[in-house]
Chain A
Amino acid sequence: MISGYLDGLGMVLQLSTLLAIAGGTLLGIVMGALPGLTSAMAIALLLPVTFGMPPVAGIGMLLGALCGAGASGSIPAVLLNIPGTPSSVATTFDGFPMAQKGEAGRALGLAIVASFFGGVASMVILSLLAPPIAEFALRFGPAEYFSLSIFGLVIIASVAGKSLLKGLIAGMIGFLISTVGTDPITGVGRFTFNELSLLTGVNLLPALIGLFAVSQVLKDTFEYDPNERLKESGHRIDIARPRFLETLKHWKAVVMGIISGSIVGPIPGAGGSIASLVAYDQTRRFSKTPEKFGTGHAPGIVSVESANNSLLGGALIPTLALGIPGEAATAVLLGGLMIQGITPGPMLFADQSGTVYGIFLAYLLANVFMLLIMCLGIKLFIRVLMVPRKQLLAAILVFCFIGVYGVDGDVFNLYLMLGFGVLGYFLNRYNFGTAPVILGLILGPIAESNLRRGLQSFEGDWTPFFTRPISVAFLIVAIGLLALTLWQNYRSNQQSTPAGDDSV
């Protein structure tokens, strides 16, 4: 482990890597501060620029974007009562009332430091838990990998959309798209339409950018209303400086946030909003002054923000150790890892431990940069909220185009990106979700190749897939989760049956 950290340190402590992490964090902060733009979109936009970088620098940049977006969602939450990201919803409960009292700077100062503490703690938890999980996963053979892929697809489909059936359909659409190209075993061309660019399958980059960036821009275009411009906050933010001592004074709230984020983080699909709401609820429950929550109470902000950033470290555990991401942002990050030539999973820890520990350290540094950049540039990021929407949409689209084209100069990939953008727009509009599509694209080939390799080695016998203990355990948990989701949907349908409830 120590040699791994030393190797990783050597990779991280290079000027280009440090600049990449800082740049990613800066972009993540800007994107997180803009309501409606997601951290998944920030990562998707950054993917093309990480191509020429060494793996740790590239992934560090993407982690910086995730970290920055997680923290800066608090800016519009505090100043405008609009959460920049879903996980900042609970920040509005006490952040905005504190700003209304004329203490917006204090609220932001607390949020920044709590995010930093949460991020650092989650890095420690990640580095402690991910390696043993990966070591355990070294026992996996084709049967286990097949079951794990199915498990990953089922869990994200169960929780990503508003409807179980629609989530499953989205996952299968991704899986189906992953079959495009030359069949790896028989060499048969599948749905290639004599297009050279499709012979090796659908390129992941246009899919990621289309599904997470172009689809979001199309949604914003559909909803674009020039009369709905954000009004500039009149709150004082001149005292927006990090508040270490005050945050530490509320250490119980910080710890509650870290525990909530770290527990919820690895649970696929649970997401930041659940972690922060759990943290807020638990902190209030154990508080001696629960009546102060919701009135601009510091522990309310501290617990929520520490939960938001500690969630990410937790979510990275299954992503790195098993190759199974829990939600959209880590799904895009997984795609980024694969584009970088890194295949997440147990072999990554066995073969490239230096890279893994480098990623851990890059995540730690991303938190440090987040703290510095947020403290130094807070007033600037508030101005970001006022950027005219149509100029922003045009700029994002150009970035998407150049990013996809610049990688291999193939115009076909631009059409592909556009196609995925339109598909993603409709999938989101009609509650299917786009995260399961990416998971299907990534896990589909793993599931197919392992099932077929397994069947060949078992001479066509399917029973080992259902008798090997780890394999059957994954399948049972996946079926159990499906049953649980169906039961929950049935119960919520029984309690209230409003039209438009999509839970099937």
Chain B
Amino acid sequence: MTQRDIGKPLFNVVLIIVSASVFVAASAFPNVNIPGDLSAAFFPQLLSALIFIFAIPCLIKDFQEWRTGDVTASSSSISLARAAGQWLFVILLLIAYVYAFERLGYMISTALFIFFCVVGLAVLSGTWGTLSIAGKSKALAGALVFAVVLAVAIFYVFTDLFKIPLPT
């Protein structure tokens, strides 16, 4: 028995929808007639059609597997909700990092990203709750020092050693 994961058939559904959309979008490409040549839409349409066709048997198989899968089986020692929370947190933090990167500059945005990433994972993984007040203060200070030192070290490695300019 394997773990039930609705994401598996859903991913195939996403592939089917996206490939159909790509096929339709490609049909709107202007047709430039060059003797012997294929149109600009040929490959996008061929590939999206093939992805669409191949994803259907995958969807059927994955859906059957999901229906017969074991609800209790789990490949991980941590709960799915906690794992998904950690995953989503990092994604959102990354988006915020990209947004802040040019606005706040490399140093501040990077130090903030590292700090929140380390502390956020500690909170979401449950270790934060087990710490005493002194332990939490120590962990916060440690994360802050780590964030600042790493941000500064990477800045000098990239700008001085590799001559790659970063926004300040």
Residues of A within 8 A of B (CB): 48-49, 51-52, 163, 165-166, 168-169, 172-173, 175-176, 179, 183, 185-188, 190-191, 217-218, 221-228, 390-391, 393-395, 397-399, 401-402, 405-407, 409, 411, 414-415, 418, 421-422, 426, 429-430, 444, 448, 451-452, 455-460, 498-500, 502, 504
Contact = CB atoms under 8 A, between A and B. Distances in A.
Contacts of A227: 77
Interface of B: 1-2, 7-8, 11, 15, 22, 25-26, 29-30, 32, 34-41, 43-44, 47-48, 50-51, 54-55, 57-58, 61-62, 65, 68-69, 76-78, 83-84, 86-87, 90-91, 94-95, 97-98, 101-102, 106, 110, 113-114, 117-118, 121-122, 125-127, 146-147, 150-151, 154, 158, 162-167
A395 B149 CA distance: 11
Given A172-B47, A186-B37, A500-B2, A218 B91 contact: yes
Contacts of B30: 188
Nearest to A187: B32
A430 B11 contact: yes
Given A175-B47, A190-B26, A222-B83, A459 B55 contact: no
A21 to B, nearest CB: 16
A499 B69 contact: yes
Given A191-B25, A222-B86, A226-B126, A418 B118 contact: no
12 contacts: A49-B164, A52-B163, A179-B44, A186-B34, A191-B44, A227-B77, A398-B110, A406-B164, A415-B98, A421-B94, A422-B91, A430-B8
B98 A418 contact: yes
Contact of A405 (B61, B86, B166): B166
Nearest to B38: A452
Given A226-B125, A456-B37, 19 more contacts: A52-B164, A169-B55, A175-B47, A176-B43, A179-B44, A190-B40, A218-B90, A226-B126, A390-B118, A393-B121, A394-B117, A394-B118, A406-B165, A414-B101, A415-B98, A430-B62, A444-B43, A458-B36, A499-B2
Contacts of B8: 430
B118 A391 contact: yes
Given A175-B43, A226-B127, A169 B164 contact: no
